[in-house]
Structure formats: structure tokens, C-alpha cells
Structure 1
């Protein structure tokens, strides 16, 4: 009986060994250097100016340490308190205007198809790329003290030199920040729910409030929070409207530091503006985090 020859053994293809991680001291030093580089740049570009501004708020005009005396003097000034209130007032009014106008525009562009809707979306997106001061300049030509509408109506509609003009300019510039997130949210909304609600007898207003609004409110809240943060720190629009009766915190900081050379009071106001901005940013991040957890 002849033995059966075993099949030849094929050699396994040799696979290259995975590169070993550099766990030694040189690798750790390289990782540490990569982390320290951005941190040093961030600290030099952002941290140092903030520390200088906050520390300067505890000095006087002659750069002498006076504790909280400058704070008490600045916050006790009626003009400063009025500027803080006007800053928040304009930011709230502008945010409400952007939400109302932006929601209407986004709703029409998403659910009322018409020729040229894509062109309008591109125009809205292009507005964001424009310098903010162009908006009050353009509105001033129409509604300013020497504008076209003012001349025709006998100066009865010259409202650009007031809080109304500032709010109108900010609404015109920041509405795209509401439209764009809502367009994205509306594009993900299942239209079958609208068909079902319509077949059950619900009218357009009821469908908008009961069906669509609950699904897109996180995106709307995030857009409103971002708009409030941006309008709270707006400087160019307020400056170029030429509204002498409107004084916001950024305008007052500019006046105290550049015009009056009172850097101590300007530092106090800048610190107040910083805390207001941080509060608005934390609100924005909270809303965005909520939006992310709901699957947006």
C-alpha cells in the first residue's frame, strides 16, 4: 500500500508588522510640543489682552492701583447704566426681529416653492459676506435725515438716527443667521407629516404651530442665541447709523478709550461686556448641545 503524499504546504504571506507607537520620551515630548504650541499662541493672542484689560480696570487714569474704586465710579455713572440697558435692549429687539423675519423667509422658501427661490437663498447667503457698515449706509440713503424717503415725506420717516434705525439695520444684516439654520432644519422635516395633518383637517397655521414648530425649535433657539450674541457686540452698525442718541457698550468703550483716553473706565466697561458676551455664549452652547442631543 503506497502512502498518500501530503499536499504541499503553502507559505503564509508575510504581513508587515504594524508600526509600533512611539511611547518613549521622544514621542511624548513631540506630543507635548504639539499641544503647547497652540496654547502659547492662544494665550499670547487672547489670554494676555484679557488679563491686561481686567487688571487695568482696578487702576485709575494714571495707572495707579485703586482697588474697586474705578468700578464703583463707572457703574455708578447713569450714562454707563443707560448704555448697558440700551445694549441689551437693542440686542433683544434685533434678535426678535431676526427670528420673526428669518422664520417667515425660511418657511416660504422651504414650503412654498416658486421660481427663483434658489437665487434668493444665494442672495441671503451673500449678505453675510458683506461688511456690516454697508447696511446702515444703504438704509441711510433711503431713510436717513437727508435720504430719499425723508425728503419725499417731509422728514417724517427719518428714523435712522434712532434706536429704530439701529434695530432695522441689525435685523437686515443678521437675519441670514436665522434663515440658514432653519432652511437646513426644514429640509430634514418629513413632508409626510404635513400631508397627514392636512388630511385630518388641520389648517396651515395649525400645521405650522403644532407639527413643524416643535421639530425645528432647537435650530431656531440656537440661531436666536447666536444672533443675540452677535448683536450684543455690534459696533460698526451702531457707529455708521450716526444715531447720536444711541450709546451702546461698544460705542462707550470706544469713546472712553480712544476719544477720552480714560483706559481705566474703558477696561471696566470692556470687562462688563466680556461677562455679558460669555453669558450669551454659554446660553448659545447650551441650546446647541440640546439641539445635538435631539438628533439635529
Structure 2
């Protein structure tokens, strides 16, 4: 009995999905598994070579040494600050783009928001280094510059990841029916009440989706911190130092477990809100 067209279509789709799924399992999940296993290895004190002997020493150091705890808290604070700033900037901009701008202006704003994504990451980071320099344009124009440090890091990362927040929030605002806000207004609700009770719950999935990008990208960044952070150290810098400078791959792997666990917990928190089910 010949297979039905629907069965042939499903078989073809399954065949087409084999290469990307194999790549995901082997290249991504496989490398992640190796990373997690190598966190429990050690290095030879004489040669510096990796010794595949199971030990909890690296994990214990990560959890107990004050320098690692301080760096972890600082990194999480920076990632949360960047996420909050991106949301604060993205919501009014996306609202104007979706509900008030004319079609021509809307297209221009979408292009303006997405165009920086095509520019080199290093060019944008070094541009902020020049802008925030104590002798840079900001100091010349206003007489004040935050210089290099945590503030510069947060500002630079906010600029770098803002498009990843604006686009999903803009899409969320576009899905809000105008008839719904008009009905709320006709029933006597103020604009603030309409935004709080009607619009905010509907755009929250977009904010949640954007926050996953901004939080995770900020959590793992180490290049911008190196360029504008001054003496500031985040987890990415410490991991890079352990891997390249100290040549201690197991310790770098153990430290990498911190952002991995943080991302998993953040995703679980977003899932518990129900936001991801409506993205």
C-alpha cells in the first residue's frame, strides 16, 4: 500500500531536520558536555597539562574564594542593570514605532534600530571608549565623563544589546489590537490605566523574550569590559584569564558553569511567568 502524501511529507521533513539536529547534538550539546566534565579535572602543577582525574577542587574554589563570589555578583548586577535599562529605553521607542509613527517613519526607525547590528562589534565598543574617555567628546561637551569602569561597561553593553530588546517589544506592541485600547478608553479608563491593565500584560512576553537576549549576552561578554571597563573584572574576563593567561582549562570550565546555571535559572524564571508560552 503506497504511503499517503501526508506521510511522505512528514518523512521528508524529518529527513531535512536530521542535519541541523545532528549539528545541535554533536557540536553544541557535545561541546557543552565536555565543558561540564572538564570542570572536574585538574592540571599538573609541574607541566600545566590537563590531568583527567576526577576532583571537586575547582568547583569548591569557585564557590568559596571571595574573588570569584565578588566577580559573580558584579557580573549578575551588570547583566540585570543592562536588561532593565534596555527595557526602559525600548518600551517607549517601540510604542511610538508601532502605534504612533507613520508607515514611512516606522520603516526608518526599524532601519535605524537594526542598522547598528551590521556594524563591527569592536568598532562600536571602541567608539564608546573614545566617547567616554576623560578627554573625549562627552567630557568636552558637558564637562563630565564617567570614564572607564562599571558605568562605562553598563552604558556600552546597553547600546550594544538594545536592538535585541526593541525588536521583540515592537512586535509585541504590533500585536495589541487598536480596538482593545479604544474600548478601554471608551469605558473611561485613563491612558495610564490602559497601559497598566491592558497593554502591559500583552507586551510582557516581548519584554521577556528581549530580556533573555540582553541578560545572556551581557552575562558572557568580556570584550567590551576589556575595552571600556578599566580595572573592572567580570566573569568573562576571569574565564578568559584562566584559559589563556593561567593555562588552567579545568578552572575556566568550572567558572563557566556559573553563567550556564544563571541562564538556566533565568529561563526557568521566565517560564514560570508564562511569558515564553506566548512569545
TM-score (norm 1): 0.77
Match of residue 237 from structure 2: 251
Gap runs ≥5 in structure 1: 1-16
Three-state SS of the structure 2 residue aligned to 1:175 is helix
Match of residue 276 from structure 1: 262
The question of whether the paired residues in 2 share the 8 Å contact of 1:221 and 1:287 is answered with no
Distance 1:283 1:225, change over 3 A: farther
| Structure 2: distance between partners of 1:80 and 1:226 | 24
User: Displacement, 1:224?
Assistant: 1.9
Task: Select between 178-187 and 112-121 the one with higher mean Cα deviation.
Answer: 112-121
| Structure 1: distance between partners of 2:78 and 2:70 | 12
Match of residue 232 from structure 1: 219
CA RMSD of aligned residues (A): 3.2
Are positions 1:92 and 2:92 aligned together?
no
User: Displacement, 1:66?
Assistant: 5.6
Residue of structure 2 aligned with 1:143, choices 108, 132, 144: 132
Match of residue 134 from structure 1: 123
| Structure 2: distance between partners of 1:290 and 1:33 | 32
Three-state SS of the structure 2 residue aligned to 1:165 is helix
Distance 1:124 1:31, change over 3 A: closer
Which is helix-richer, 1 or 2?
A: 2
Q: 1:173-215: CA deviations, max 9, x gaps?
A: 2122221112222222221233333344443323322332122
| Structure 1: distance between partners of 2:117 and 2:197 | 31
Match of residue 56 from structure 1: 38
| Structure 2: distance between partners of 1:47 and 1:186 | 35
Gap runs ≥5 in structure 2: 45-49
Distance 1:66 1:142, change over 3 A: same
User: Displacement, 1:124?
Assistant: 0.3
Task: Select between 67-76 and 248-257 the one with higher mean Cα deviation.
Answer: 67-76
Are positions 1:162 and 2:144 aligned together?
no
The question of whether the paired residues in 2 share the 8 Å contact of 1:218 and 1:288 is answered with no
Count how many residue pairs are aligned between Structure 1 and Structure 2: 268
| Structure 1: distance between partners of 2:211 and 2:29 | 28
Match of residue 28 from structure 2: 46
Match of residue 67 from structure 1: 55
Match of residue 13 from structure 1: none
